[in-house]
Amino acid sequence: MNTKAFTMVELMIAMSIFTICILGLYRLSGTVGKNTVKTIQELDATMDIAQVYMVLRKRLAKVDSIHFPPLKVNSKELSFYIEGDRFDYEFKNNSIQISKNQKLISTIVKGLKLFEVYRLDTKLMQIKFVMKKNEIETRLYLENLK
């Protein structure tokens, strides 16, 4: 009798263990793939908010006067003037609609849950963006405001 060969039972056990390991790796790779897609979507949403914030911050750095909101009022709308042009940021249909001189120029950040502006002081404004799990809240000092 040859003692160097595997028995049929040993081969079946080894194949079963191998199959279980392969199935576990397959399920793990599916979970990792789903989590990666979800993370990328959340990152895209955060990048959209950050981009809107940067554009808004640049525009507000040049602001001449604030049309709306008044002091100490929460608002889903922001209106201001730069060199005679009126800019409106309005939260509608889960996005921000931007108008220049009351003509719609773009709709940005779709899927937004909240865009809120609050004037804390004459030259200090708090802005809040909320998406699914992402939230950015910041304060801007309007140094050029007259």
Tens of pLDDT along 46-85? 777 777 788 788 888 888 888 888 888 888 998 988 888 9
Q: pTM of the entire structure?
A: 0.64
Q: What is the mean pLDDT of residues 123-128?
A: 88
Distance CA 94, CA 105 (A): 17
pLDDT at 2: 57
Distances 55 to 29, 98, 132 between C-alpha atoms, Å = 39, 11, 22
Contact 133, 118 (CB under 8 A): no
Contact 104, 124 (CB under 8 A): no
Contact 128, 114 (CB under 8 A): yes
pLDDT at 103: 92
pLDDT at 70: 83
pLDDT over threshold 80, residue 130: yes
